[in-house]
Amino acid sequence: MGRVWKYGDDINTDVIIPARYLFTTDPAELAAHCMEDLDPSFAGKVRPGDVIVAGRNFGCGSSREHAPVAIRAAGVACVIAVSFARIFYRNAINVGLPILECPEAVAALQDGDEVEVDVAAGTIRRVATGETFQAAPFPPFMQEILRCGGLVEYARRKLAAAAAAPEGADPGRSP
């Protein structure tokens, strides 16, 4: 369960993590400046489990992976938007940041609402009213990438499972 931080359309990667902080790849340092140019209070007030809700084209702009890393490191449990820029969508999955597209939830939820999100089921529930919204859940292999914390850890586990598998076993099974 977490608090909603609501933003509008076309939230670009330059406001998610300003370019002046791209000298580092340290997630904690990136988190300290997450959303700084759009919402200076965000990094100091966001709590683990909080949720960003935004309009269309979230994560547009540059292809930097720093943006979803900063959001995840800030403690955000999920980003819910009407739509995501394609490169942000892939980068979010690659770094293990859960995202859901759900226009109905975006239209209904307000800044400060408490929500429960079940990424695997694609459900979003406003705690105060019990109102539930349905997003399309990810296919199982993408859910596994998210559960592993991103593509690198997913690949590590797959390779380790393949190396440990007895001859003739199926190394393609999930770790």
pLDDT tens digits along 118-148? 999 999 999 999 999 999 999 999 999 999 9
Q: What percent of the chain has pLDDT over 90?
A: 88
pLDDT score for 7:
98
DSSP-derived pairing of the beta strands 123-126 and 114-118? antiparallel
> Which of 171 and 148 is assigned the larger pLDDT?
148
Mean pLDDT of the 74-87 span: 97
Q: What is the mean pLDDT of the chain?
A: 94
Q: Which residues of 18-28 are buried (b: 16+ CB within 10 A; e: fewer)?
A: beebeeeeeee
Report residue 161's pLDDT band, with 50, 70 and 90 as the boundaries. Answer: confident
The two structure tokens encoding residue 49: 């489990």
pLDDT in tens, 9-62: 999 999 999 999 999 999 999 999 999 999 999 999 999 999 999 999 999 998
pLDDT category of residue 174 using cuts at 50, 70 and 90: low
Strand order in the sheet with 78-81: 99-101, 78-81, 51-54, 2-6, 114-118, 123-126, 132-134
What pLDDT score does 28 carry? 97
What is the per-residue pLDDT for 162?
Answer: 87
User: Which pLDDT score is estimated for 62?
Assistant: 86
Higher-confidence residue of 65 and 171: namely: 65
Q: Are 105 and 80 in contact (CB under 8 A)?
A: yes
